[in-house]
Each structure stands twice: as structure tokens, then as C-alpha cells.
Amino acid sequence: GQQVMQIPQYQHVQEGEDFTTYCNSSTTLSNIQWYKQRPGGHPVFLIQLVKSGEVKKQKRLTFQFGEAKKNSSLHITATQTTDVGTYFCAGDNDMRFGAGTRLTVKP
Amino acid sequence: NAGVTQTPKFQVLKTGQSMTLQCAQDMNHNSMYWYRQDPGMGLRLIYYSASEGTTDKGEVPNGYNVSRLNKREFSLRLESAAPSQTSVYFCASSSNLRLAGGLYEQYFGPGTRLTVT
């Protein structure tokens, strides 16, 4: 079945530093979604990417979908303490979520 | 609107006991899902229901059964709980099924933290 690998597993940054998490699939994806889960909370939908090479921005967050539609990235510029949480990608083909990247931010 | 609600929030079971986790959504969504979340393993799909009256297995269905009682409600049953089923269980819904290549975001409930001793 489809495997969605996410790296890194953990990332600790100083507030103000940038952060990037990567999602890689073994097969071509029809689309990819990103979710954020705050500590003790539930996943919340952030965005969906559909087109090859697509780039979308939400304030300090930039999402990219690779040209081959096999990988995606989420980049946060100038992290804030409110960015703390685990970021998951999910490939649409068979609903497999990546294991997530847990972000901690030191004030 | 409450969105997706789950009961109970916490549960402790002994090995071999049975229980049902309840989930309801008030968004008139057709599709509903059950996931389990274990540390370091992300979310894994247990069962899903594309629409009222249909259910299908996900990635990890063994040891579980589900019932789509009506359009609003989707329950998950553990017939004989095992320590390996200790996890956080999330119910989710979407306007339509995602596995068919649909482009629908999922809305998650608050989760049920289950411990089996």
C-alpha cells in the first residue's frame, strides 16, 4: 500500500527561527492534505494541495506540492510559540497519514 | 454547531471487556471515519463509512467492529479489549468520501483516550 513518510520526527527551534517538515510518498498522490494537532488536541485541517508544483501560503506558512506529486513540504517562517504542535500530512489515495513532525518552540 | 462529538473522553478497561465508543456529527456529512493514534505512529484508519448504510475496513480493522447507525452517528466497538488497543481514538467526518479521490477535508472529534490493563 501507499507509504507516506514524514521527516523529521521532531524539531526543536528557537522562537523566530524557520521550520520545515517534509512529506514523501512512494506513489503519486492525487492530492495531499496538511493537518495540525496541538498538544492534547485533535487534528485540524490546514490546507489541501492538488496541482503539480502548487504553492500555497497562509500567513507565515508556505505549502508546496512537488512536480511529480510524490512529495510535499510545509515551511513556517519566523516560528512563534503558537506554532507548537504536531504537523501531519495525509495522502488522499488511501487515507494514510504520515507519522507527523512534532514542533517545539523555545521562547 | 457542536461539530463532531465523542463519548466517553476517557475509559479504562480490563483485558477481555467490551465497550462501544460513540461518535456523532451535526454537519450533515455523508462520510465518517475512525482512527487510532499511537505515539510516533500518526493516525491509522480503522474503519470508515462512505455513506449511511455502508462500512469498510481501513488499515487496522482487526479487533474492532463499527455501526453506522444513521447519517449522524458512527460507533466503534471493541468486543474483547486487549492491551494493544490502548490508544487515543478519533472519529472524523467529511462531506463525502475521500478514498475515491474526493477533495474533502476531515473534521475531527476531541478523541477518546482508552487504556486497557
Query: What's chain A's Rg over C-alpha atoms?
Result: 13
3-state secondary structure of B84: helix
Residue B40: name the closest of A44, A94, A102 by CA.
A102
Pairing of strands A61-65, A71-76: antiparallel
Rounded CA Rg of chain B: 13
Average pLDDT over residues B13-33: 96
Place of cell 480493522: B61
| Residue type at A26 in one-letter notation | S
Short-list A82, A76, A89, CA closest to A4? A89
Would the CB atoms of B99 and A94 count as touching at under 8 Å?
A: yes
Which of the two residues, B4 and B104, has the higher pLDDT score? B4
* Residue of A97, A101, A102 for testing the chain B interface, max B β-carbons within 10 Å: A97
Residues of A in Cβ contact (< 8 Å) with B111: 42
Contact B7, B20 (CB under 8 A): no
Looking at residue B99, its pLDDT comes to: 47
Q: Is B85 in a helix, a strand, or coil?
A: helix
Shortest alpha-carbon distance between residue A97 and chain B (Å): 6
Considering CB atoms only, which of A9, A44, A95 is closest to B45? Answer: A95
pLDDT in tens, B46-102: 999 989 999 999 999 999 999 998 999 999 999 999 999 999 999 999 987 754 455
Q: CA torsion angle for A92, A25, A98, B82 (degrees, to 10)?
A: 90
Q: Which residues 6+ apart lie within 8 Å of B18 measured at CB?
A: B77, B78, B79, B80, B81
- Return the C-alpha cell found at B8: 466517553
The C-alpha of A58 sits at a distance from chain B's nearest C-alpha, in angstroms, of 17
Question: What is the pLDDT confidence band of residue B7, given thresholds at 50, 70 and 90?
Answer: very high
Question: Which residue in this structure is represented by grid cell 519566523?
Answer: A78
Give chain B positions within 8 Å (CB) of A99.
Answer: 40-42
Region label for A38, one of left (φ > 0), alpha (ψ between -120 and 50) or beta (otherwise): beta
Side-chain-facing half-sphere of A98: CA atoms under 13 Å: 31
Over 70: is that where the pLDDT of A23 sits?
yes
Residue in A30, A88, A92 nearest the CB of B43: A88
